[in-house]
Structure 1
Amino acid sequence: MFVSLPPSAGAATMGDMLRRIVHVVFDGFQLLDLAGPADVFATAGLLARPGGYRVEVAAGRAGPVAANTGIRVEATTALADVGGEIDTLIVSGGLSVRRHLGDPELAAQLRRISGLARRTASVCNGALLLAEAGLLAGRRATTHWLAAGELARRYPDVTVDADRIHQRDGDVWTSAGVTAGIDLALALVADDHGARLAHDVARGLVVYLHRPGGQSQFSAAMTAPASPDGTMRELQAYIDGNPGADLSVPALARRTGLSERHFARVFTERVGTPPGRYVERSRAEAARRLLETTDHPLDRIARETGIGAPETLFRVFRRLWRVAPGEYRRRFTMS
């Protein structure tokens, strides 16, 4: 299947009043990273009088570019040919990003084009490409929760906030995974035209203007990886399998035969997080699974997972995932 993205609505009559968006793609890019923001900008163009957007797709070479789905998108411009004034440079993400991290020409072109743009942005793990080009150095950024650890390891000069849906640091914007590109584009529209237009665009697209909570609510387990230490690994399995048990430091220390002080130090060193924090997150994960798979009332879930009271369950969810337990259940229930 072949898709060619037309200019945003109004291009024929608004001319130079349109904000020029250069959206960079590459073989294997995530199609929604382009399509989601493009629809936001097109809808804003329908509603903004005057002042819409013109989306220009660019790649290493002009011509068809295959997305991760096999759908081909027409890149109207080669990166080397991009010039002139640019309002916003946006870089897509995708599973193929890692194949492009070692491409010095791509990094050089992103640096050059970013210098022409009023602001620079990335969707999903496209943040890795911005970081490879040196555009995130000394900045705070976010990315897909699956790629956050890699972004932090590869580029230690970037401060990674893995829970943000989108992040702005000066004239550089980054977003979380895939559909968060829509959230990012809405934020860009709000920055350009105000919250009212962004609200109207969100209503038209049937999406949140401000998505409740952070992206960690969509992620896999937040508990630490298994320790290479056999004793601590067994203890982790016990904690994860028995959330309602006595998991206090004294009780856990007794299971290992260590003094409380020595146990706390060894656990923290070998697991990577203090025992109290590990227990809290493990219990929160157990509560999250029960919210998704049962219709148990909140007081029963809090009691069975060792969290205690519904009020404590609420505080833990708000702190870890920025969402209330009841709201989490409404979004993710399997019943």
Structure 2
Amino acid sequence: MIGILVFPGFQLLDAAGPISVFEIAGRFSGRGTTIQPLAVTAGAVRSSSGVEVLARGFRGLRGLDTLVIAGGEGVRDAIRSAETLAFVRAAARKVRRVASVCSGAYVLAEAGVLDGRRATTHWGRTPHFLSAYPKVRLEPDRIFVKDDHVWTSAGISAGIDLALAMVAEDHGDEIARQTARQLVIYHRRSGGQSQFSALNELHAPSGRFKPLLAWAREHLDEALTVERLAEQAHMSARHFTRAFIAETGTTPSKAVERLRVEAAKARVEAVGEPIEEVARTTGFRDPERMRRAFIRAFGQPPQALRRAARSA
């Protein structure tokens, strides 16, 4: 059984996205999948949109294989529920997999399940999450993260990517591809791909690091190490890294990579310049390094974006 943990004020798509993935994959695989919304109290649970789902209570629950925790504004109350946290702790010890979508990571963190583990959540919650749960090894730039049997994902649609990765693990890549096609998803994003909203956030940085990022944009062809960035910001490397993550939602190295990807993408789509020259002058040096960065950010290599630009 796959359980989807919901609570009053949950985000409907956080639950409906994974449910649809598991249901369609079960059909394609020929192995029916039992999917059950779960809540502290059995009955109708109202989402933030007002749409209700019928949930089963925790008591007497058997046969749970995977637990997926939805996110949403209601998570503020969910993390205050002793019964919910006790259920999640017990499930994390017993089930094959436990996962969260978006701010559902707060439930896992509050239950202590994420202590010492790599995890992610929606980029907009990064500063608060870092301060609230310092024991969690947050990777704010990831679509989803798998650490042993504990999975976490970024905002809303990333829950679909997480569920597709679980389908691939259970039924193989072909069933995952068929499921993605049925959902009219062009391709399944890997967990290492950047959160696109976080990429956009760097276009208009605010606060004390705005001048630093503007300076970095002008020096992309140079070695922009953490130490050099910290020196430019007049901070120690350690303090700089923590402060930078708290304010921008990403690490300094990832921010530099995004700035380079942003600059390189514009030049790649301009068509005329050789890919090797773009890689050299935007600081990637090696075209292969640039290709990997493009796949992380856009899901496609530079050549594919250039072909699309030519077609347009």
SS of corresponding position for 1:146: helix
Deviation at 1:189, TM superposition (A): 1.5
Residue 196 of structure 2: aligned partner = 217
Matched-pair contact (CA < 8 Å) for 2:88–2:111: yes
Matched-pair contact (CA < 8 Å) for 1:166–1:173: yes
Matched-pair contact (CA < 8 Å) for 1:239–1:282: no
Q: What does residue range 140-289 of structure 1 map to in structure 2 within 5 Å? A: 140-211=118-189, 214-219=193-198, 220-222=200-202, 225-227=206-208, 235-236=211-212, 239=215, 243=217, 264=231, 267-269=234-236, 272=240, 280=256, 283-284=259-260, 287=263
Deviations 1:107-127 (A, max 9, x none): 112223334422211111211
Q: What does residue range 67-82 of structure 1 map to in structure 2 within 5 Å? A: 67-75=47-55, 77-79=56-58, 81-82=59-60
> Structure 1: any 5+ residue segments left out of the alignment?
1-19, 228-232, 250-260
Deviations 1:30-70 (A, max 9, x none): 11111111111111121222x22111111122222121222
Matched-pair contact (CA < 8 Å) for 1:101–1:129: yes
SS of corresponding position for 1:189: helix
Matched-pair contact (CA < 8 Å) for 2:177–2:188: no
Residue 53 of structure 1: aligned partner = 33
Q: CA RMSD in A?
A: 4.2
Matched-pair contact (CA < 8 Å) for 2:71–2:100: yes
SS of corresponding position for 1:163: coil
Q: Tell me: CA distance 1:326–1:124, structure 2 relative to 1, closer, same or farther (3 Å).
A: farther
SS of corresponding position for 2:202: coil
Structure label with greater radius of gyration:
1
The amino acid of 1:53's aligned partner reads: T
Residue 91 of structure 1: aligned partner = 69
> Structure 2: any 5+ residue segments left out of the alignment?
245-251
Q: Tell me: CA distance 1:321–1:47, structure 2 relative to 1, closer, same or farther (3 Å).
A: closer
The TM-score normalised by the length of structure 1 is: 0.68
Deviation at 1:152, TM superposition (A): 3.0
Deviation at 1:244, TM superposition (A): 5.1
Matched-pair contact (CA < 8 Å) for 2:130–2:138: yes
Give distance in 2, aligned partners of 1:237 and 1:123. Answer: 30
Deviations 1:206-263 (A, max 9, x none): 2255316613333233387522xxxxx78448648xx5589989xxxxxxxxxxx9x9
2:12 to 31, 54, 61: 31
Q: Tell me: CA distance 1:147–1:309, structure 2 relative to 1, closer, same or farther (3 Å).
A: closer
SS of corresponding position for 2:50: coil
The amino acid of 2:142's aligned partner reads: R
The answer on 1:107 being equivalent to 2:81 is no
Matched-pair contact (CA < 8 Å) for 1:140–1:160: yes
Matched-pair contact (CA < 8 Å) for 1:82–1:113: no
The amino acid of 1:64's aligned partner reads: A
Give distance in 1, aligned partners of 2:24 and 2:151. Answer: 21
Q: Tell me: CA distance 1:82–1:115, structure 2 relative to 1, closer, same or farther (3 Å).
A: farther
Further displaced range: 163-172 or 174-183: 163-172
Matched-pair contact (CA < 8 Å) for 1:28–1:96: yes
1:129 to 100, 107, 118: 107
Give distance in 2, aligned partners of 1:117 and 1:282. Answer: 37
Matched-pair contact (CA < 8 Å) for 2:91–2:98: no
The TM-score normalised by the length of structure 2 is: 0.73
Q: Tell me: CA distance 1:204–1:29, structure 2 relative to 1, closer, same or farther (3 Å).
A: same
Determine what percentage of the aligned residue pairs are the same residue.
35
Higher relative contact order (CA 8 A, sep 6+): 2
